[in-house]
A = this chain, B = another copy of it.
Amino acid sequence: MLAYVFGISVLAILFAAYLAWYVLKQDQGTPKMQEISNAIKEGANAFLKRQYKTIGVLAIVVALIIFGIYGFLGKWEYAAKTSIGFVIGALCSALAGLIGMYISVRANIRTASAARKSTAEALKIAMRGGAVSGVMVVALSLIGVAGLFYLFGADPKTTPFMLVGFGFGASFVALFAQLGGGIYTKAADVGADLVGKVEAGIPEDDPRNPAVIADLVGDNVGDCAGRGADLFESTAAENIGAMILGVGLFPVFGINGVLFPLVARAFGLLASMIGIMCVKAREDEDPMKALNRGYYITALLAAVGFYIATMVMLKNAWFFYAGLIGIVTSIAFVYITQYYTEYKYRPVKEIAEASRTGPATNIISGLAVGLECTGLPVIVISLALFFSYVMGVWSGVAHGGLYGTAIATMGMLATAAYILAMDTFGPITDNAGGIVEMSKAPEAIRKKTDRLDAVGNTTKALTKGYAIGSAALAAFLLFSAYMDEVANLTGKAFSVVDLSKIEVFIGGMLGAMLVFVFSAFAIRAVGKTASYVIEEVRRQFKNKGIMAGKVKPDYAKCVDITTKGALKNMILPGVLAVGFPVVVGLLLRAEAVAAMLMVGTIAGVILATVLNNAGGAWDNAKKYIETGAYGGKGSEAHKAAVVGDTVGDPAKDTAGPSIHVLIKLLATVTLVLAPLFI
């Protein structure tokens, strides 16, 4: 089975290489376009280099601490396996991010160039560029875990530690990648907009704006590298949870139970690859339709793959149904997110209408939508958990209920590579639009990239919904994994997280609070970094030549300032996220930590949904008005909607996505440090 997993992973990497080759061989457009694209590339490289240096140093420190803690407890084998797992997890996550970015900053110009000919061609290039990211993330998470198995073998006692280390490594990198990238992208965006659009009155992506390149760089480091690390972590976390459960079911399924998650994931990856190749649009078709078509093909094939894997490895159809529930859940999340963030539907229309009476009513109405939209996702997750658990119970396998939820999670994540490809499609088309605008290409081309860009906004919103849904499902597995681990360590059954105990209730309350305070820190970090950008842009605008279009603004300076600011300001929320669970664990011990995890996850899922969807809805309310509603561009309603859009930016691109990572990090950090809490 392991060989099969390796085989598919290697195939996937070859596939990604083919896609990369395909993208890179495309036309690179005019010299003017290349100039802009190169600036973006340089800025992104500079940021990533410094970011991963910072993360690297932090990761080495953490690896040593983990080694030290287990060593101090005299468990040298655990120490070695956990910290090696951590380093491999961190490396794989970083590698996936870097490769994705490498292609993404090269696909943008090729998409822009292709848009001169046809929308369909541009769509294909952008999707294939995004797919490099998507495929690599999933392939590397498979290879990483499979590699650990290959290196150390499957030992029911130490395997969990290895997996847990891997997961923590992935979370750790994801936290800082998402925080740093999220802060960068929104600080640059807010900074560019406030001084450029609002103060100076020049349009978006105007080449006279010194922060415009930083803004375009931000789309890549936030949406591509950040979300890639986020979903890498999701797949890793889900693997861990499911495999640890599989270890517990060793008497029933043997090694098949442990490896099933990897095999199921491999099938999902295969399905995604086929889905990606199927994305072709007719020239006059809504590009979103083409993407949706590919998605349904992927989901269908993933279901077939699931059926084969379940019947061969587990020989129990009930688990297939559980997997199907997961696949259906992912589709439901995609629909719900569309309902709340697309302007075809009531919520966004409501916000747009409220914009007529000014920014205050726009914001109030957006808040109401954000708060309301937590309802359906929570109900869907509840149903998915409940019924997949029931399937597991009906399977007749002892403790099968939890395994049922594990398999539902795998089902939800089966399409991860495809979803991530759609997500990275977002920054590529966004950048393509920017390049077209800045190179002063004709209006007709701009219209084409605008259409793709609008689709990219939708896919970015969908991915966030999907990421939070899968995080919620995976979290329940991680709780069980944590409880298993504590039971193993203490030799006592630990099967209860009793909220009616005072310290457990307090743990839960602190977990929920952490999510809110963390979000506050993340948002404030954007504000601080944006203020550096604002000052710099204002300083440059004092040179009248820039405004007149005679002097080229110093883009690099803005990129540099944003980079430094984002990296500096990601430290405080990052340290809070890692340090707080440790403190709670040391003070209140294992059971309270479990409650912190569970209630923190609930609060996180809900708050992230509020922030992501409110942000998306504000964004599209503005876009809706720009189509001409309520007076269109330049009207009072539009001005009000711009305010909402700006408010939504740090919510949906920094705080929300960082919470996804936070809740998984909470799980992995407590899993790794559990020996300290008992």
* A residues neighboring B (CB under 8 Å): 190, 194, 198, 354, 357-361, 363-365, 367-372, 374-375, 378-379, 381-382, 385-386, 389, 401, 405, 476, 479-480, 483, 495-500, 502-503, 505-506, 508-510, 512-513, 516-517, 519-521, 523-524, 526-527, 534, 594-595, 598-599, 602-603, 605-606, 610, 642-643, 646-647, 650-651
Contact = CB atoms under 8 A, between A and B. Distances in A.
A374 B606 contact: no
Contacts of A520: 367-372
A362 to B, nearest CB: 9
Contact of A513 (B198, B375, B594): B375
B506 A364 contact: no
Contacts of A521: 372
Contact of A385 (B367, B505, B599): B505
22 contacts: A198-B358, A359-B643, A360-B643, A360-B647, A361-B646, A364-B650, A371-B516, A371-B519, A371-B523, A375-B513, A381-B509, A382-B506, A386-B502, A386-B503, A405-B502, A476-B502, A479-B505, A496-B496, A499-B508, A508-B602, A599-B602, A643-B643
A476 to B, nearest CB: 7
A496 B591 CA distance: 13
Top 3 A-B pairs, shortest CB-CB distance: A372-B520, A371-B520, A360-B646
B508 A599 contact: yes
A378 B500 contact: no
A499 B598 contact: yes
Given A194-B358, A358-B194, A371-B519, A509 B382 contact: yes
B497 A375 contact: no
Given A372-B520, A500-B594, A516-B606, A506 B643 contact: no
A520 B524 CA distance: 25
Given A358-B643, A483-B500, 16 more contacts: A364-B523, A364-B526, A364-B646, A364-B650, A367-B523, A374-B513, A382-B510, A385-B505, A386-B506, A405-B502, A480-B500, A496-B500, A499-B499, A499-B595, A512-B602, A512-B606
Given A363-B363, A364-B527, A517 B358 contact: no
A354 B527 contact: yes
Contacts of A194: 357-358, 360-361
Nearest to A584: B382
A594 to B, nearest CB: 7
Contacts of A512: 378, 512, 599, 602-603, 606
A372 to B, nearest CB: 4
Contacts of A500: 479-480, 483, 495-497, 594, 598
A612 to B, nearest CB: 13
A598 B370 CA distance: 23
B516 A610 contact: yes
Contacts of A385: 502, 505-506
